[in-house]
Each structure stands twice: as structure tokens, then as C-alpha cells.
Amino acid sequence: MHPRIYKHYLSLAEKYQMKGPFLEIGASPGPNSILAGSYFQGKPGRVGINLSDKEMSDDGSGHKIEFVRANSNDMRNEFADNSFGTVLSNAVIEHDKYFWRSIEEIKRVLTPGGIMAIGAPGYIAQKHLKKVVLGEDLDHATVTYNVHVQPDYWRFSVKAFKDVICEGMEILEIHALMRVPIIVAVAKKPLPGEVPPPRVRASRRKAAAA
């Protein structure tokens, strides 16, 4: 995970005072786990899921991160409805053949009022990008991540985050970070009977090229 993205997740945790229990989709033992970050250290109730076999990891605070082998497309055998106050995921759903199933599962396991923060490679308008490739003027082209860890299926627009990933949620913020963008959305699960307010406007944060 790029250090800027990691720092952004920790700043979001502070900003919204994210509460446990905590679930990280696609987590791995070691410092790259979001749940190993400074905000989460010392907090109990940290669970990471991954398709590979993992072991519990101690971040040095005495509170271990529990790793569960599970597919985020269907976590009903692992977690009941409304189990987590916070669900985090970064650079995972682009590798998920059925990412929409995972999004529905995230919303299911979130407690009402709970927060999800999801990031994935995307594409956004790049007004400064002008290049001619094979004789074609790419004035309206956008930059995005190359294929990386296989399998690699998807890239997302800000609108996809608004209308698909955060559907039915209260969108707190959406940011596109870095020139080769990772889009990160933060949204809250409505309380029973609560209607999500109008969507907030997404913003772009300037950063050095990735």
C-alpha cells in the first residue's frame, strides 16, 4: 500500500473516530494491514479476512489481530448481521470477480451507524494530460493503474463509488488521491428508519505522481 494511502486511512479513522469491532477485507499480517496502524493499536476486536491461511498477528500492543480465512462475497458463515462498527478495505475489490457481492456483505455486517471506508484504483478527468499515441490525440484520456496482482478485473469511477458502492449509505466523503488515482469513499450505514441525506460532492486531492 502506498504510504500516502495508508496515512489517509489513519487520518480518516481519527477524523470519524471509527469504532469497533473492526473488520478489514483483504488484510494481511504485518505493517501493511490498516488495522496495524497507530489509531487501531491497542483496540480490541480487530478482525482481518483473506482467502489465504493467516495467523493471528500481534502488533506489539498485546491486542492481536485475528485473521479469518473467508471469501468476502459471502461471510454469512463467519459473521452475523450488524457485527462490526467499522469495515475497511483498500485495493481489494478490483481483484474481486463479483465485487458487488462483497459490497453487499460489507453493508450487511456493518452495525447501523457504522462506517465503511473502501478504496480502489480508478479513473478521473485529467485536464493536464495531453499525449499523442499511434497518431491519436488523447486530450480526453485518463491515467489509471496498470494490471498488477492477478487476477485484476476492475477500475472504478467516482460515479461508480457514489451510485454503486455507496448505494443506500450516507456518503461522508470521496477523495481521489494521487495522479494515478486511488479513489477512497467513506460512508455510514443509516440507522433504522433513517433516509440517507443528499450525496456530498467528491473532491480531488493533489499529490505527486504515483
DSSP string computed for 50-96: ESS----EE-SSSPEEEEEE--TT--TTT--TT-EEEEEEES-GGG-
The cell for 161 is 463509488
* Rounded Cα distance, 2 and 184, in Å: 13
β 84-90/22-25 pair status: parallel
Average pLDDT in the chain: 86
Mean pLDDT of 203-207: 47
Beta bridge pairs of residue 141: none
pTM: 0.85
Task: Tell me the longest C-alpha to C-alpha distance in the chain.
Answer: 60
Task: Say what the pLDDT of residue 63 is.
Answer: 61
Domains and CATH numbers, the chain: 3-205 (3.40.50.150)
Residue bearing cell 443528499: 198
At 69-104, the pLDDT tens digits run: 999 999 999 999 999 999 999 999 999 999 999 999
